[in-house]
């Protein structure tokens, strides 16, 4: 078979491959070409004149290595060495094709990160002295699960399937399905747009409340329930906004961007409202809220241009329907989970924000979006951190005991 026939057969085989398989084949062929180019440039003959350790010229041949490489003996120091001893290729664990790829980057004067990407090697941090690769802190770079398992989980994530169904479809245990969910939420939450109301723009603000929940299996942990357990929240019959309800502050701006932030127990206070709105509401913006007293002083301090406070019982003066719609969608989003533990409420709110941003299209497009963001997203949380999360706002239960 001549070179032309080889190229034609290669093109036919490449046409029958998928996009991923084609990329892998190209990388493999590129490595073979680089190794051959390196051999041609370096040459196969090399005369050893001196010992690389002591510099003595009294060198004689002494057998061959397992791969057929000539070995030498130095009469001066009595040590043996090979063709690569003391040379880059002899002391490096990287193959020839990697060094040839780096030679191309070296000639082109490419940045280190681009060199690392092309050569598929790690970088060194001069600050901490640790090495890291292009996949460091990325889910696919730190997970032992193959990509096809993560793609199967992406489908389950878009469909919002229960954890046990996710575990069955992905062929993993329930604990792994749980950690996959929280790692994916952390990764995807970084892609949700930040909430900001600029000067002259408008937004609507309101709060919604969730019952405090200690949902989870506490039999093996050190956590002790501060109150008697409740079966699916049916024992909660207090009227109004008690201190056992968790406040989530919500905002919607003119660009339909949202923010949802857990702000503590009970009714919203002025201090908690300021902490949530500082940096999000610019001076000169237009804000609409209900008649909660916490907003009056906070918005005046933020120097908004106009503050419209609407009475929820009298719709003739105006409404905050956009933020109320978000609350309705949030309730529908949370319903299949049958209660979310308060310590994980922030994560599920981030999941809801991501769904509002990226799931406006069909599920197939959403799956591809998850896969793309999963491949490049970062997850810094460790698995053991996900199982050692302490419930927030526990000082409320410690006060009566004291």
Instruction: List pLDDT tens digits, range 227-250.
Output: 887 776 555 666 667 788 999 999
Domain boundary assignment for the chain: 202-217+242-340
Whether residue 33 is predicted with pLDDT greater than 90 in this model: the reply is no
Identify the CATH homologous superfamily for domain 202-217+242-340.
Ribonuclease H-like superfamily/Ribonuclease H (3.30.420.10)
Does residue 272 register a pLDDT over 70?
yes
Would you state the structure tokens that stand for residue 343, as one six-digit string? 């310590």
How much is the pLDDT for 26?
A: 75
| Segment among 2-11, 58-67, 81-90 with least mean pLDDT | 81-90
Please report, rounded to a whole number, the percentage of residues in the chain having pLDDT higher than 70. Answer: 83
Q: Which residues contact 32 (CB under 8 A, 6 or more apart)?
A: 97
294-321 pLDDT tens trace: 999 999 999 999 999 988 888 777 889 9
Residue 44 has pLDDT above 60, yes or no: no
pLDDT given at position 113: 77
Evaluated on CA atoms 360, 366, 372, 377, the torsion sign reads positive
Q: According to the model, what pLDDT value does residue 182 have?
A: 92
- Per-residue DSSP letter, 257: -
More reliable by pLDDT, 11 or 206: 206
Conformation bin of residue 79: beta by default, left when phi > 0, alpha when psi is -120 to 50: beta
23 pLDDT more than 90: no
CB neighbour list of residue 52: distance below 8 Å, 6 or more residues apart: 81, 85, 86, 87
Give residue 97's region: left, alpha or beta (phi > 0; psi -120 to 50): alpha
For the stretch 146-193, pLDDT in tens is 888 998 999 899 889 999 999 999 999 999 999 999 999 998 988 888
Average pLDDT over all residues of the chain = 82
Average pLDDT over residues 363-379: 81
Q: What is the percentage of the chain residues whose pLDDT exceeds 90?
A: 32
> Is the predicted pLDDT of residue 200 greater than 70, yes or no?
yes
pLDDT (0 to 100) of residue 297: 92
Q: Is the pLDDT of residue 8 over 70?
A: yes
Note the pLDDT of residue 35: 63
Distance between CA atoms of 72 and 53, rounded to whole angstroms? 12
pLDDT at 90: 61
Q: Which residues contact 381 (CB under 8 A, 6 or more apart)?
A: 182, 183, 186
């Amino acid at each position: 078979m001549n070179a032309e026939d080889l190229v034609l057969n290669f093109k036919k085989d490449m046409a029958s491959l998928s996009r991923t398989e084609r990329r892998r084949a190209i990388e493999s062929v590129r490595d073979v070409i680089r190794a051959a180019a390196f051999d041609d440039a370096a040459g196969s003959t090399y005369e050893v004149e001196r010992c690389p350790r002591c510099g003595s010229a009294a060198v004689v041949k002494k057998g061959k290595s397992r791969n057929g490489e000539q070995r030498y003996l130095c009469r001066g120091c009595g040590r043996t060495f090979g063709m690569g001893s003391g040379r880059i290729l002899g002391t490096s664990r990287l193959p020839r094709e990697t060094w040839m790829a780096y030679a191309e980057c070296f000639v082109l004067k490419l940045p280190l990160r681009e060199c690392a990407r092309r050569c598929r090697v790690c970088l060194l941090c001069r600050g901490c002295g640790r090495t890291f690769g292009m996949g460091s802190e990325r889910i696919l770079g730190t997970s032992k699960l193959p990509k096809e398992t993560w793609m199967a989980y992406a489908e389950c994530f878009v469909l919002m399937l229960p954890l046990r169904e996710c575990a069955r479809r992905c062929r993993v245990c329930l604990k792994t399905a749980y950690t996959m969910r929280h790692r994916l939420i952390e990764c995807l939450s970084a892609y949700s747009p930040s909430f900001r109301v600029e000067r002259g723009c408008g937004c609507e603000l309101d709060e919604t409340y969730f019952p405090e929940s200690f949902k989870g299996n506490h039999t093996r942990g050190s956590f002790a329930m501060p109150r008697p357990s409740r079966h699916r929240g049916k024992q909660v019959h207090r009227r109004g906004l008690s201190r056992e309800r968790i406040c989530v502050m919500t905002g919607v701006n003119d660009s339909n961007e949202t923010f949802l932030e857990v702000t503590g127990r009970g009714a919203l206070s002025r201090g908690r409202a300021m902490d949530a709105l500082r940096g999000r509401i610019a001076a000169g913006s237009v804000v609409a809220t209900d008649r909660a007293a916490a907003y009056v002083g906070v918005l005046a301090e933020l120097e908004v241009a106009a503050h419209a406070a609407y009475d929820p019982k009298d719709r003739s003066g105006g409404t905050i329907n956009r933020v109320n719609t978000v609350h309705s969608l949030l309730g529908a989003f949370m319903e299949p989970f049958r209660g979310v533990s308060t310590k994980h409420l922030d994560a599920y709110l981030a999941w809801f924000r991501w769904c509002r941003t990226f799931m406006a299209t069909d599920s197939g497009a959403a799956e591809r979006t998850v896969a793309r963001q999963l491949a490049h997203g970062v997850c810094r949380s460790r698995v053991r951190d996900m199982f050692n999360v302490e419930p927030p706002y526990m000082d409320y239960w410690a006060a009566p005991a004291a």
